[in-house]
């Protein structure tokens, strides 16, 4: 069971994934601190200035640009099988760099896909994660010289929209 739990650790979304070893997994967080994931429980903690606390639910960007999703204090696995976590490369720059957004942005489409057109599935963890990615994308677009272009998070949302196991289509009301 210990190894099964270790294998289930994943970072989602066009997002980089790191395989967990029996000793656990750590990574630096963007903005400071170190994330540690316990391989037995998949519980995530963050240590900043010598103080360790549980990592809150939501989407967290790591120093390497990948994203870690935490739900109920546990890292969301990429697959619900005994196989090793899937390896998703970071978004390919050619998919998003200098690409003009026409209509809905990739993160807006992802949020509509998992939350529903009228937020019918807003209570779901995937919806909350997609909305956080959308907020990150909007922040990046606001800070960019040309806010009409895709951002790194836009590329991550493109990848996440293909992860239908976690970011499944909202079926409420159908």
Specify if 165 maps to a domain: no
What is the per-residue pLDDT across 6-34, written as a single tens digit (0 to 9) for each?
Answer: 333 333 333 333 333 344 678 888 888 88
Range of the domain at 139: 93-160
Q: Where does the pLDDT of residue 43 fall: very low under 50, low under 70, confident under 90, or very high at 90 and above?
A: confident
Specify if 173 maps to a domain: no
- Please give, one letter per residue, the 3-state secondary structure of 38-69: CCCCCEEEEEECCEEEECCCEEEEECCCCEEE
When divided into structural domains, the chain yields a total of 2
Least confident of 60-64, 102-106, 119-123, 132-136: 60-64
Specify if 167 maps to a domain: no
What is the per-residue pLDDT across 92-106, written as a single tens digit (0 to 9) for each?
Answer: 888 888 899 999 999
């Amino acid at each position: 069971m210990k190894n099964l739990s270790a294998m289930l650790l994943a970072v989602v979304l066009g997002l980089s994934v790191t395989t967990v070893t029996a000793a656990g997994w750590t990574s630096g967080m963007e903005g400071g601190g170190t994330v540690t994931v316990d391989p037995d429980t998949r519980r995530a903690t963050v240590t900043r200035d010598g103080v360790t606390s549980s990592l809150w639910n939501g989407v967290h960007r790591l120093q390497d640009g990948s994203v870690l999703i935490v739900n109920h204090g546990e890292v969301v696995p990429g697959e619900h099988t005994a196989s090793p976590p899937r390896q998703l490369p970071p978004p390919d720059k050619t998919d998003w760099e200098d690409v003009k957004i026409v209509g809905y942005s990739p993160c807006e489409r992802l949020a509509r896909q998992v939350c529903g057109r009228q937020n019918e599935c807003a209570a779901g963890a995937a919806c909350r994660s997609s909305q956080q990615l959308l907020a990150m994308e909007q922040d990046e677009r606001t800070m960019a010289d040309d806010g009409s272009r895709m951002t790194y998070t836009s590329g991550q949302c493109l990848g996440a929209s293909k992860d239908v196991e976690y970011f499944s289509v909202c079926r409420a009301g159908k």
